[in-house]
Chain A
């Protein structure tokens, strides 16, 4: 599939030079775009295809009352800069008060902008999310953002291909988040380096689009350039609900075109990894990168058992930062905060999974918990279903949409030493606030932990 998409987007190719490929969709947000627009202005260049470029504000928007002015002057300036740049260069902006606003990787699929076969870029590493639709989607830096704004193209070598085949069926209570954490634990934080991962197998086919997005989203946490899943009936029915009918006057031929994308039977990949879906369990990270995770039934590992002195050193450093000792069952670890949100796990089905666990219960007295929907539209849908009542009655905060505590660029941060069960994608040191200790989990596990005050195997709560 990677080869087919690459071939379709090849603008120019010459030996001993990287290829020039065309970009179908360019997504922008406030943090990584201002310097790119400044570069265009300095060089007196225009945005080549404003019709293929869309912007929103997500990284540093407040998730509290948005009718109030933003306190943080720098965040306010960045948002103002994106507003001005979008206006000056004719780019569509889903602004803070727009019904379409939300996390960039949540809204593009929701609005039907993400479609199979496309090349998609954004100045954000989690652009890999869009690969769930059978696209080649990857994060780029600000210089490349400027390059795409000016030329709608990128120069790059075709990445290598890797197949991760998930055969068999997932056990009950094992979610998409557990699948990707399990994969990263197996192949390592740099196991996908220089590759585009295509996820295949029955266990992947049985997943919904939202679950597939969770998996592709965290491909970057395995170091991969992108993640992708070939389109099928699940993809088509998701899209037909979302693409404006005016945009698909010839839907049959468009669908035929999408269905030509899947990798051919018997094609070869540069690397193939097979994983038995039944071997995967609900996971919790214990360390300071997404590779450091264990099944919920296990205990904190011992650095003495590490494969190399470097790995032992990294484990010891991680345990010290996390304030943990080897041998403690992970379920005995108490938490202070719970964050349900981020481009990994903030979609309607994520909120529904959490609400199912929370329904009728109360957040533990020692825990402060919040839900941040991925988009303004998801917030509205959840409220129509009454999910907000379930969360609010239990003692969760119910916020406006944005990236929020996934990276804590807005006021939503952990205090030093606070321990958080988080549905986000990175548990790096200080990611959610200086000194904060992040444990990555699925929405159901985060919800269960909020109620119990410590990590729990939510499978025991599911009837």
Chain B
């Protein structure tokens, strides 16, 4: 997994709540058997108008946000399906951080597996960033210090599970870590199998 320590980038505002995984990556693009190449399909339907042309109003299509690498959105981001294609698409598009006041559980854990940071900020902080981003803003997300700041004096701390934080910073491979506990797995398994 790609380690994450700190990232500075432009913020893209997606002022919608309950953004579901069907919007992040519509189902017709889930038929690939690779982990890559999904960025082109990110928010596919929202990016397009009825006639199929790109909607110039949608945040990802706006010229001023072409360099964006931090997405900020309303509460409960990533609800719905367990498809890991959602974080794959966000990362493949170029996002490194998603900021919201809350995330759906499975989406959040899928982000951790891929080194994409789902950053839970206060509702006030999220609302502030949504407004600031409209006028274009760049922020630094420092996972080590657990702070997000805009270089203009605004700074907010955020909470994250210490184990998750450490894993992201080190880019820890979870399977390798679990396999190092083989002794425990083996003994649990022996006991389990003798019961049934």
Known A35-B34, A225-B105; contact A147-B174, beta-carbon cutoff 8 A: yes
| Segment at the interface with B among A9-17, A92-100, A369-377 | A9-17
- A residues in contact with B184, CB < 8 Å: 11-12, 20
Residues 86-112 (chain B) with a chain A CB within 8 angstroms: 87, 102, 104-106, 109-110
- By a CB distance below 8 angstroms, the chain B residues around A138 are 106
- Taking the closest CB of chain A, its distance from the CB of B77, in whole angstroms, is 10
The residue from A34, A35, A311, A431 contacting B22, defined by CB atoms under 8 A apart: A431
B181 — nearest CB in chain A belongs to which residue?
A12
| Chain A CB within 8 A of B84 CB | yes
Q: How far is the CB of B9 from chain A (nearest CB, A)?
A: 24
> Taking the nearest CB of chain B, how far is it from the CB of A353, in angstroms?
27
- The interface on chain B, measured as residues whose beta carbon lies within 8 A of the other chain's beta carbons, has a size of 50
Q: Which of A18, A123, A125, A193 contacts B80 (CB 8 A)?
A: A125
Residues of A with C-beta under 8 A to B157: none
A38 contacts B185, C-beta separation under 8 Å: no
Is A189 a contact of B18 with CB atoms below 8 Å? yes
B45 at interface by CB-CB < 8 Å: yes
Establish whether residues A429 and B79, one from each chain, have CB atoms under 8 Å apart when the complex forms: no
**A60 touching B31 by the CB < 8 A rule?**
yes
B16–A317 CB distance below 8 A = yes
Using an 8 Å CB-CB cutoff, how does the interface string of A58-94 with B read, 1 for contact, 0 for none? 0010000000000010110110010000000000000
- The chain A residue with its CB closest to the CB of B87 is A141
Q: Is B159 part of the contact surface with A, judged by Cβ < 8 Å?
A: no
Given A32-B82, A123-B82, do A22 and B181 touch, yes or no (CB 8 Å)?
Answer: no
The residue that A407 contacts in the complex, of B27, B33, B82, with Cβ under 8 A, is: B27
Is A153 part of the binding interface, using a Cβ–Cβ cutoff of 8 Å? yes
The reply to whether B22 and A426 form a contact with Cβ atoms under 8 Å apart is yes
A11 contact from B16, B20, B188, Cβ within 8 A: B188
Q: Which residues of A contact B113 (CB under 8 A)?
A: 141, 143-144
With an 8 A cutoff between CB atoms, is B140 at the interface? no
Name the distance in Å between A221's Cβ and chain B's nearest Cβ.
Answer: 8
A397 at the interface (CB under 8 A from B): no
| Contact call A140/B162, Cβ cutoff below 8 A | no
With the chains together, A342 CA to B39 CA distance in Å?
29
User: CA–CA, A225 to B107, complex, Å?
Assistant: 11
Cα A314 to Cα B50 in complex, Å, equals 20
A430 & B16 in contact (Cβ 8 Å cutoff): no
Q: Are B185 and A141 in contact (CB under 8 A)?
A: no
Using a CB-CB cutoff of 8 Å, which residues 110-157 of chain B contact chain A? Answer: 110, 113-114
Interface size class of A (residues with CB under 8 A): 35 or more
> Would you list which residues of chain A between 123 and 139 have a CB under 8 Å from chain B?
123-125, 127, 138-139
Contact, CB under 8 Å: A152 / B31: no
- Whether A190 contacts B104 by the Cβ 8 Å rule is yes
Minimum Cβ distance to chain A for residue B117 (Å): 16
B7 interfacial contact with A, CB 8 Å? no
Residue of B nearest to A435 (CB): B50
Give the residues in chain B near A211, CB-CB below 8 Å: none
B104 with A193: CB separation less than 8 A: yes
**Contact between A190 and B76 (Cβ–Cβ < 8 Å)?**
yes
The residue that B104 contacts in the complex, of A72, A223, A313, with Cβ under 8 A, is A223
For residue B48, which residue of chain A has the nearest CB? A434
B106 touches A141 (CB 8 A): yes
Q: Are A31 and B30 CB-contacts (below 8 A) given A139-B106, A143-B114?
A: yes
CB distance from B58 to the nearest CB of A (A): 13
Interface residues of A in 169-190 (CB under 8 A from B): 189-190
Tell me how far the C-beta of A49 lies from the nearest C-beta in chain B, rounded to whole angstroms.
8
Q: Are B23 and A409 in contact (CB under 8 A)?
A: no
User: Which residues 138-196 of B have a CB within 8 angstroms of A?
Assistant: 161-163, 174-175, 177-179, 181, 184-185, 188-189, 192
A7 within 8 A of B: no
Kindly state the separation between the CA atoms of A428 and B161 in the bound complex, as whole angstroms. 30
B17 in contact with A124 (CB, 8 Å): no
Interface of B with A (CB < 8 Å)? 15-18, 20, 22-23, 26-28, 30-35, 45, 50, 74-76, 79-84, 87, 102, 104-106, 109-110, 113-114, 161-163, 174-175, 177-179, 181, 184-185, 188-189, 192
Q: A140-B82, A408-B27, A430-B45 are in contact. List 5 more A-B contacts (CB 8 A).
A: A11-B188, A143-B84, A151-B185, A155-B177, A190-B76
A–B pairs, 24, beta carbons within 8 Å: A11-B188, A12-B181, A18-B163, A20-B178, A22-B189, A38-B35, A78-B31, A78-B33, A124-B81, A138-B106, A139-B81, A150-B175, A155-B178, A159-B105, A189-B18, A190-B76, A190-B102, A223-B79, A317-B16, A408-B28, A430-B22, A430-B23, A431-B22, A434-B26
